[in-house]
Every structure is written in C-alpha cells, then in structure tokens.
Structure 1
Amino acid sequence: MEGTIRNPDVSSVVVGVDGSPPAHRAALWAAAEAARRERPLHIVHAADTDSRSLYLSVPGVEGIREVGREILRSTAEAVSAEYPGVLVTTEFSGSDPVTSLRKAAGTHGTIVVGNRGMGGFHSLVLGSVGLRSAAGARTPVIVVRGTEEATETGVVLVGIRDERDFDCARYAAREAELRKASLRLLHVWNVLETVGTVTTTLDDMEEIAGRHVQRLKAVSQQIRDEFPDLTVEADAEKSISVPAVLVEASHHADLLVMGGRRSPGYIGPTLGRATHSLIHHAHCPVLLVPRYGHESGSES
C-alpha cells in the first residue's frame, strides 16, 4: 500500500479510480460530497498486483505502480482545482479493488464508484467486482450514474418499503439537508405479489392499498417530526414492477437512496432484484445504505 496516508479517516469519502472517464467523474462527484459533509476525500487506485506477483516481473510491477501513481496524482490535482477546500489523500493498493475500498472505508466511511471502469475496476457495476463491492459493503456505497449534463432537480428520492426503512429515510433526509434539497419518499407495491389469487376482490385491493399507505405515513411522519425544516413529499404507487417505477422517478432526482435487507452489518451477500436493477438503470447516483437485521422475502 502506498499513498499520502496509510490509514484514512474512518469517516472519509472513499472513491475508486482507474483512469477511465466514469471513474474521473465519480472522483469529482465524491469530492463534492466530501465538501458538503466537510469530510476528507480518499482516492484509491487498486492494481491487484499482490495476486499476480508470481506472474509479473519486477519491472512489470514497477510499471503498474508508476501508472497508478500518475492516475492518483492527476485525479487529486483535478479534484483540488475544483474543490480547494477538501482535504485529499491518495492510496495505491496492491490488493483487489473490493478489498481495498472496504479497508479504506473502515467502519464509517462512504464508498463511491463509477458505473463503469477498466483495469482493476472493470465494469464496477455491471461486472462481478462491482456487484460484490455494493452487495457486501458494511458502509454506504454510492454508484455514480446519470449524465454529466443532468440538471439538478433539488430532490433527494428514497425508496421506502415499510417502517423498518426509517433509518434509510433518515439518512436520505440528512443528504437532502446537506444539498438544501427537498425529500421525496416513494413507496411502491407490486400488485402481482399482493393479489395472490384470482378471487381477490376490489375491496381486498382497497384494504391492501390502505395498508401500504399506512406504512408510508408511519415513516414520513417520523421524518417530518425529526426534520421540521425539511420539505418532505410522500407518495405511494402500485405497479407490476417496483424497479421500473423507481427508475422512472430517478429522472427527477439528484440522488436515489435505497436500503438493503440482509444479515446484520451488511447490505448482503447478494443484491435484491430492485436494488440490482437500480444500480444498472437509474438516471441519477444511487446510494445504498446497509440495513441491519435478519430479514427475508425482500426485493430491495
């Protein structure tokens, strides 16, 4: 491991870079996030030379290190030029990208990745490396999606399933406050899952819809009580595809926040169907917040 520091502040915003344009954009996005939070930015380049040491010559390893150092130097310079008030540190790691990012983030840091990459970060979202990085993280992970030309909407969107998503909603509310944005809570329920049988009546559907609305109200009221100065909008929608509604809603948001339901301290060994779809198709950055507790049967 090489860099300006060896043990980054555990509350740092940690971003992985590989020299690709999406990674560069992720670094600038992460710098803006670090500035909002008044936290350090830690830039990591993971070359995965440790696992290939038997197959690489000494000059080959040194060449990889030189390339990595240059990527870190140029990225740090670009970030500092645009965000001079952010403390920037860098790290070259010989470990694999997933291990390097998790170690750098510690127990309280936030990991930021681009939606595509090359080299050690190839297909961070679409490939197995990115999916493992998001699915197994103990800390929040932000996948920078959308386009550079996207216009700010002043909205933070959070997907809510039930009352157990309050911590996720609170996290989103804090993000909205940092951005001086409004917060939209969106609860989507799958009609095909709740109908069950062909004998379901219209009255049954109305009762089911009422239960879903109550779940959303329980969360939204708590958020309004805790964040009285925050503009909060709460919507409940029914659909045959939860991910499709959330992806469409992401058109009108600066950040989409989602919670993961897996074992304690993890987003999980795998991502749920809705979350998996969102990190592939959302039109804005997606922030995945670990959700604690033993749960099953969740899509998110």
Structure 2
Amino acid sequence: MEGTTSSSELGSVVVGVDGSEPARRAALWAAAEATRRERPLHIVYGADTDGRALYVSVESIENVRRAGRELLDVTAAAVTEQFPGLQVNTEFSRSSPVPSLHRAAGLHGTIVVGNRGAGGFGSLMLGSVGLKVAAGAKTPVVIVRGIEDGAETGTVLAAVRDEHDLEAARYAAREAQLRKSSLRLLHVWNILQSVGNVVTFLDDVDQIADEHVHHLNAVGARIREEFPDLSVQVDAEKSTSVASVLVEASREADLVVMGGRRSSSYLGPTLGRVTHTLIHHSHCPVQLIPRHGHEHGSQS
C-alpha cells in the first residue's frame, strides 16, 4: 500500500563482516535497522576459500574457516547483547565477499558494509571490495560512516535530481517513517554544467533554475501524497560542486539516500563521481538505491 511502511517493502538486512572495527560498527547499525524493519539480521563472512584453494595450504584454509566462524559467533553475540529480541542468522561463505553479499541479499534485501575494511583476506575495504559491492548491487546498499558520536538529527536526507529519483525518495520516506523522523528532499544543480560553455543571459539562468525546481517539486508532491503523515521539506540549491553541497548537508542527517547511478568502464560498473565522493566523505551513513532502467549520466 502506498504511504505505509512494511518490512517487506524495505526487505531483509544483510551485513558483511571482516574483523575490522568499521565492520563491527556496521553490524550494530545493521542490527538497529533490522530491528526497525522487524526483520532478521543476516551476518555474512565471505572467506573466498574456494578461490584460493589452489594457492594456499589445506591448513591455511582451515585456519581461515575457524577464524571466520569465530568472527561470526562473536559478532552475533555482540549484536544479541544490544538487541536481545532480534533474530540473527550467520553465514560463512566459501565465495568472495562481493558475490556472497549480493547472493545473500537476494532480490529485495539491503546490504550493509563498513566504510573501511581490515585489508587482506576477506577484506571489505571501501575502494576495493566495498566499492564493487555498491557498484554491482541490484538491491540497496548502505555504507556506514559518520556514526561515531552517536548524535541523531531526526532527519533523513534524499538527494533528488529528477523524477527518475522518485523510487529513491520513496525509500527515504520509508526510512524516515521507521525512525519517526522528517524527510528532506534536496536537489543540487551545477550551474556551470547546466549552461555549458555558452554565455547566457540572466533570464536563461532563471529559466534553468525554474526547470530544476519543477522536477524537485514534482517528486515532493508525489511523496507528500503517498506519505501524508510524514513531514517533508523540499530544498533546491545551485552550486559549482554538487558533491560538496551533499557532503555538507549530510552533517544534519541520520541517513542520506540517493540513486546509485553507475557508469561503465573496462573494469566493469563503477559509481558516478558525485556518488563516489559522498560515500567517502559523508558525515552519516549513505544508502544507494539502484536505478533500474533509468541509469543515465556518468557524473552522479
């Protein structure tokens, strides 16, 4: 039903662990999220033992298995201590972390990773494995960062470019409802990118601004219609750097939600520049929502 929040709409919560402190914090954040959604938490350790079996000894593989299972048990115990009513499942995967997490999330789950990893075997370091998880995911991915001080703002921020971001705005609205928070829809347009290299008159700039505001208001109107009990704030800003405005706005949010646009490269799918900057510098967790069938533009 539109305008309501159910556990099935937001799906299950899957978190990857590797023994690092950021991954431990990500697991606790994921546990809180699973509790809000009233869904089980699925903790995954992707050991990549199958991929390394030909290159390391049987003893080394067994040590990795033992360490991985111990890590899963310790993480599950820490989560259960803080969230005693939460159902927690663990999975030791013989595959590498990226396919392990994608497979565990299925069609509707949300993947949670820390902003840095331990490095080495089973790493979830953002910039390597973490980026591949985010870039290749067909379901939402949350990069947990900026939660060390524990302060809450009571606001969920959604980055909106146009009507193609309506689904991301819906995700943000559901997250805001679960948190009993307000929702801020923020559209940032790059005036230099909009006018290109052509010298324009002030009237032209005003017309461009009106077009951007029109797209934002259209999304805002749909969200208010579908979520009538939610407090929704709509803001538009112009800047020479979209990424810097979003990073600064993240200081006043508990979660940033945005469409995870991708561009192609010879290495496979990669995240756009704005998205890449935000997930490395945001002051709060960032949730990326895949844009099925409407992925365009390599700058975002």
Alignment TM-score, normalising by the size of structure 1:
0.92
Give the alignment of 1:21-170 within 5 angstroms. 21-118=21-118, 119-122=120-123, 124-125=125-126, 127-170=127-170
Kindly report structure 1 stretches of 4+ aligned residues shifted beyond 4 Å: none
Within 5 A, what are the aligned runs for 1:121-270? Answer: 121-122=122-123, 124-125=125-126, 127-262=127-262, 269-270=269-270
Preserved CA contact (<8 Å) 2:159 2:246: yes
Judge conservation of contact 2:158–2:169 (CA < 8 Å) in 1: yes
What is the alpha-carbon root mean square deviation over aligned residues? 1.6
Counterpart residue identity of residue 280, structure 2? H
State the AA in 2 paired with 1:214: H
How far apart, in 2, do the equivalents of 1:123 and 1:106 lie? 19
Quote the Cα distance in structure 1 between the aligned partners of 2:245 and 2:269: 25
> What letter corresponds to residue 75 of structure 2 in structure 1?
T
1:15, 1:26 within 8 Å by CA — same for their partners in 2? yes
Q: Shift of the alpha carbon at 1:220? A: 0.3
Amino acid at match of 2:275: T
Alpha-carbon shift at residue 199 of structure 1 (Å): 2.4
Cα distance in 2 for partners of 1:216, 1:11 equals 27
Q: Find the aligned partners of 2:246 and 2:197 in 1 and give their Cα distance.
A: 26
What secondary structure, in the 3-state scheme, does the structure 1 residue paired with 2:228 have? coil
Q: 2:290 is matched by which residue type in structure 1? A: P
Report the CA distance between 1:47 and its aligned residue: 1.3
1 CA distance for matches of 2:278 and 2:122? 19
Note closer, same or farther for the CA distance 1:234–1:120 as it changes in structure 2 (3 Å cut). farther
Please give the alpha-carbon distance, in whole angstroms, between the structure 1 residues aligned to 2:81 and 2:201: 62
CA contact (8 A) 1:251 1:283 kept: yes
Task: Give yes or no for contact 2:246–2:278 (8 Å, CA) kept in 1.
Answer: yes
What is the percentage of aligned positions where both structures have the same residue? Answer: 67
**For 1:203, what is the secondary structure of its paired residue?**
helix
User: Which amino acid in structure 2 is aligned with residue 281 of structure 1?
Assistant: H
Residue 120 of structure 1 and its aligned partner are, at CA, apart by 3.7
- Say whether the 8 Å CA contact 1:97–1:120 is kept in structure 2: no
TM-score (norm 2): 0.92
> How many angstroms does 1:251 deviate by?
0.4
- Name the CA distance, whole Å, in 2 between partners of 1:121 and 1:174: 32
Deviation readout 1:230-276 (Å, 9 max, x if unpaired): 0000000000000000000000000000102359xxxx811111111
- Number of equivalent positions: 286
Counterpart amino acid of residue 175 in structure 2: E
Match of 2:3 in 1: none
Counterpart CA distance in 2 for 1:120 and 1:291 is 31
User: Which SS does the other structure have where 1:188 is aligned?
Assistant: strand
Residue deviations 1:104-156, cap 9 Å, x none?
Answer: 1111111000001113453531x221111100101100000103214100000
* 1:299 to partner: Cα distance: 2.6
SS of 1:149's equivalent? coil
> Hey, what does 1:7 align to over in structure 2?
none
